[in-house]
Structure 1
Amino acid sequence: MKLESLNAKAETPTPAGHRGRARRRRLARSIAPSESTPFTGRRIPAYNLLSETVLARIEDQADWILRNIGVEFRGDRTALDHFAQTGARIDGERVRFEPGHVRALCATAPSEFQLHGRDPVRTVTLGGDNVVLMPGYGSPFVSDLVKGRRYSTLKDFRNFVKLAYSAAALHHSGGTVVEPTDVSVNKRHLDMMLAHLTLSTKPFMGSVTAPERVRDSIEMARLVFGRDFMEHHAVMQANINVNSPLIYDDTMSTALRIYAEAGQCVCVSPAIFAGAMGPLSPAAVAAQTLAEAMVGIALAQLVRPGCPVVFGSFHSTMNLRTGALTFGSPEANMTTMALTQLGRRLGVPVRSGGGQITASNAPDGQAMQDSTGAMWSTLLSGAHQVWHAAGWLEGGLVMSYEKFIMDLDHCGAMLKLLQGFETNEEAFGRDAYFETGPGENFLSTKHTLRHYAAANYEPQISDAGPFETWSENGALTSDQRATARWHQMLNDYQRPEIKPGIQAALEDFVSERKARMPDEWY
């Protein structure tokens, strides 16, 4: 609330007189940008797009795929042996299942579990009424309004870990937030893990791109959390992408098995672009996603019953005239909503297929329209974990500093929305009616003074002032205001404490591992 608008209200004295006007001015001077209201869990019900009958029909189609087509595990004989021992039909590298078989294998997966942060205050719960937001993932480029679009570097990676740590609306540090292309491919996972473990105390993701990188990630986490603690608690996640349609390559399935053996969270995420990796219709994409994901979840349970898992997805539609991917489309958003319902019926936490994703090449109106559509369908459908909640641009090729900040404002607003509002005695503010009267305002009442600081969610870069003031201040657009904000956040960042011995052990581990590796730039 601006001082000018409060004074404008006070120009015509009310019966409250000058004393009330002075109180309003003191109130205006005391208002400062508020932090996002802490998220305490979803309090509005999830929206169910599909009926039980329709959901059962999609599940039947998933069973049809698994029985008649099957899923291939290429190069991973161990995974095939696990399934063979349960009575699945193995034909070369392809495995087929009778209806209901895979779902039964998933039954030991927990419906709710914790991901522990280095600081226990940062520990999050996946499942139930909880929502966990995290930044974008995997972009090889970054962009900002000052330096433009460029390959991302380790400095950019560290910057985004710091920004995610500083953001009240994000609960998770992410994984490969951007690809640090100035570090050798076979070594960069060490630098990324070091950043997550020392620059943040929020949960994080480990590497999945080679078995030795998986083991390095787990060993570095053990240096911080302790082997015994990690034997019984999840502190990290693995992003296991299915090579859709219907293939697990040995890199992904081996990574899945190693993380499961260590008792760490496995998120299984088919990636289906409708018309390319699966049929065009949302129903077909939903059924194929369910089939592919259940097989990965089942494998995790065969390796270690009770292994924490997340039913993930990443899907989009295509422009069928050009072949370009589109994001935030109504068809993709409906698929997201269907998959959230299917995941709840499976009994495991759900990672959305959405987030604030867009194909736009700039943090513009298209970017925010795409992102808003995808985010609304994701959160209202009841998803538990949202990847790509901040920064995504160009279909994931670019992590934008400005869009990261713009997305944070929307994340905070959505979290406030999910918590609903109170209807208790204090919420109705009856005492305020006795302090004022018909035709008078409530700005200086005790009820307002008690609650003004946290009553409304206050975005950090929005400008609600009059045109004249906006123009006098440079007529800055949202993305331009976001530039100043991300610079301020990095300047204000305070590195969390870590025991010197643990810091030294991590740095020694990274140095020793790098010394034994030749550089690989492919």
Structure 2
Amino acid sequence: MVGGRYRPLTGPEVERIHTLVLDLLADLGLSQITPSLEARAVAAGCEVDGAGRLRFPRALVEDVIARTRRKFTLHGIDPAHDLEIGGQRVHAGTGGAAPTIMDFASGKYRESTVADLYDIARLVDRLDNIHWYHRSVVARDTKTILDLDINTTYACLSGTTKSIAVSYTDSASVRAVMPMLDAVAGGEGKFRERPFCTAVCCHVVPPMRFATESCDALEAAVEAGMPILLVAAGQAGATAPAALAGAVAQACAEVLAGLILCNIIDPNCRGIFATWPFVSDLRTGAMSGGSGEQALLSAACAQMAAFYDLPNSVPAGMTDSKLPDMQSGGEKGYTISLAAHAGASMIHESAGMHGSLMGTSFESYALDNDLLGAILRTVKGVEVNEDTVNFEVIRDVVLGEGHYLGHPQTYTRMKTDYLYPQIADRRSISAWEEAGARDAREIARDQVSAILADHYPSHIPEAVDRQLRDAFNIILPRDRMRAGNGIW
């Protein structure tokens, strides 16, 4: 679906923000650049001022924007799930780093685990309107950072054949997982041919500072041929300006700094312009992921990315609600809709998230999949052509049967123009009552149970899995990855 019809900013406002972006990069720059990237950047024309801040000349910024990739294929593990990213084509998927998950049996929040990562991946694998799996919880049962990154990668790879994304902490983690990615791809060097794992790099610590370890991870990931999600996640009113336009400008400058570095390393890199400014509730300072301001921020960032014509990502669907309730549905609905209609290439965190990214729940993935289908249908818009605006069709019905129920156009269009939800209930009140008067959350729980009881993907051959378990400290038991394990 191609978006971009909704524009919260006027043309002159976009230009004014862009001017501030260039000023920030050229006259203020970013501090704390790593020595390796500093050497590359200075050789490409950047300069380090007396305060140690890396400044980016306007000509270099504009040159990189002009020559960077406008679109690319985001590969799935299975080519059937390949996505074309760019050109305001709208896709939606998961994201986040929730430390807690609502336990499916007890309904209470608990710490998330590697098994949860795997189970969510299996669930997402069967939900058609969720287009990729960016790990959405942090495995709290791992002991070291390296174990976290290795086991996160393994759980994502094993649970879905869609494209995956992992937030790698440092360059050691990137180098460590490359043999795993190659093994799943079919052998040494095969991953680079079809890179199906994106490295999520929060390369900045807002405002306008580089994150040292993440920059090392960025450099290693670009050299390995991985797509890079370049994330700047300032919080308006705290680590970004409270003025929404200022927050957009700062995020654009911070992400462009990362994109320039990526292009210096590899001019053909798959960089994703991920402006993720979040919102503070200024009464408390706490993040508010479901606010109207968040919807505007994400939509404005998508519009700026369209101005630059860059493959991009924005966050939406990060409800402040702790339950899959009315607040959750409302906040997810308007934040995702505005981002989609603004033409965001990738809408991250659009499924499953609660508590301003601090929690998740299994049934919300199923509920949000239904919601995403409806939102994407609105992005598709109204088709106007000779068949849809047809005098003969209306005349035949008016002078004939008097209704369109049996008309050939109706049969054709019911398959192409209409989306039928799996969970949302359209029956009459009496039919709903006779069927048990169940609400959407109950239906979603049934769908989750049915998928997770039976769907254990087997795209990684047993021999390869044994190879991975011999080479890495995999903590997810193999028996946990087979049907009939007693968990679901």
SS at match of 1:312: strand
What is aligned with 1:112? 71
Which amino acid in the other structure matches residue 44 of structure 2? T
The answer to whether the 8 Å contact 2:117/2:156 transfers is no
1:481-500 equivalent positions in 2, closer than 5 A: 481-493=443-455, 495-500=457-462
Query: C-alpha separation between the residues in 2 aligned to 1:129 and 1:60?
Result: 23
Q: How does 1:115-514 map to 2 (within 5 A)?
A: 115-144=74-103, 146-148=105-107, 149-174=109-134, 176-186=135-145, 187-225=147-185, 226-241=187-202, 242-352=204-314, 354-424=315-385, 427=388, 434=396, 440-453=402-415, 455-493=417-455, 495-511=457-473
Q: Which runs of 4+ in 1 moved over 6 A?
A: none
Q: Distance in 1 between matches of 2:127 and 2:412?
A: 26
Change (3 A) 1:370 1:380: same
Matched residue of 1:248: which SS? Answer: coil
* Matched residue, 2:7: 48
Residue 84 (structure 1) aligned with residue 84 (structure 2) = no
- Report if the CA contact (8 A) 2:149-2:169 is conserved: no
Return the alpha-carbon distance in structure 1 between the equivalents of residues 462 and 446 of structure 2.
Answer: 33
Question: CA offset at residue 92 of structure 1?
Answer: 5.7
Change (3 A) 1:283 1:162: same
Structure 2 CA distance, aligned partners of 1:513 and 1:144? 20
The alpha-carbon deviation at position 113 of structure 1 amounts to 0.5
Q: Matched residues in 2 for 1:142 and 1:303: separation?
A: 38
Aligned residues: 470
Looking at structure 1, the residues matched to 89 and 454 of structure 2 have their Cα atoms a distance apart, in angstroms, of 29
User: Aligned with 2:283: secondary structure?
Assistant: coil
- Name 1:34's counterpart in structure 2: none
Note the residue ranges of structure 1 that are not aligned, 5 or more in a row. 1-40, 515-522
User: Greater shift after overlay, 501-510 or 393-402?
Assistant: 501-510
Provide the C-alpha distance between the structure 2 equivalents of 1:69 and 1:284, rounded to a whole number of angstroms. 15
3-state SS of paired residue (2:58): coil
Which 10-residue stretch deviates more, 204-213 or 90-99?
A: 90-99
**Residue type matched to 2:97 in 1?**
G
| Change beyond 3 A, Cα 1:222–1:92 | farther
**2:481 paired residue number:** none
Q: Radius of gyration: which is bigger?
A: 1
Query: How far apart are the structure 1 equivalents of 2:474 and 2:260?
Result: 36
Post-superposition CA distance 1:216-257 (Å, at most 9, x none)? 222211222244444454322111112111111211100110
Contact 1:103 1:346 in 2 (8 A): no
Q: 1:100 to 1:368 in 2, by over 3 A?
A: farther
CA gap of 1:497–1:145, structure 2 versus 1, over 3 A, is closer
CA shift, 1:446, in A, is: 4.4
Contact 1:436 1:445 in 2 (8 A): no
1:108–1:301 contact (8 Å) kept in structure 2:
no
| Structure 1 stretch displaced more, 187-196 or 394-403 | 187-196
Q: Is the CA contact 2:71–2:85 (under 8 Å) kept in the aligned structure 1?
A: yes
Q: Judging changes above 3 Å, is the alpha-carbon distance between structure 1 residues 114 and 280 closer, same or farther for their aligned structure 2 residues?
A: same
Give the % identical residues: 24
User: Secondary structure, in 3 states, of the residue corresponding to 1:181?
Assistant: coil
CA distance in 1, matches of 2:10, 2:386: 37
Look up the SS of the partner of 1:67 in the other structure. helix
Contact 1:237 1:264 in 2 (8 A): yes
Deviation at 1:208, TM superposition (A): 1.2
Which whole-Å CA distance do the structure 2 matches of 1:442 and 1:56 have between them?
A: 49
SS in 2 for 1:317: strand
Q: Which amino acid aligns with 1:78?
A: S
TM-score, structure 2 normalization: 0.88
User: In 2, are the aligned partners of 1:67 and 1:98 still within 8 Å (CA)?
Assistant: yes
Residue 144 (structure 1) shift: 5.0
- Please give the secondary structure, in 1, of the residue aligned with 2:282: coil
SS at match of 1:463: coil
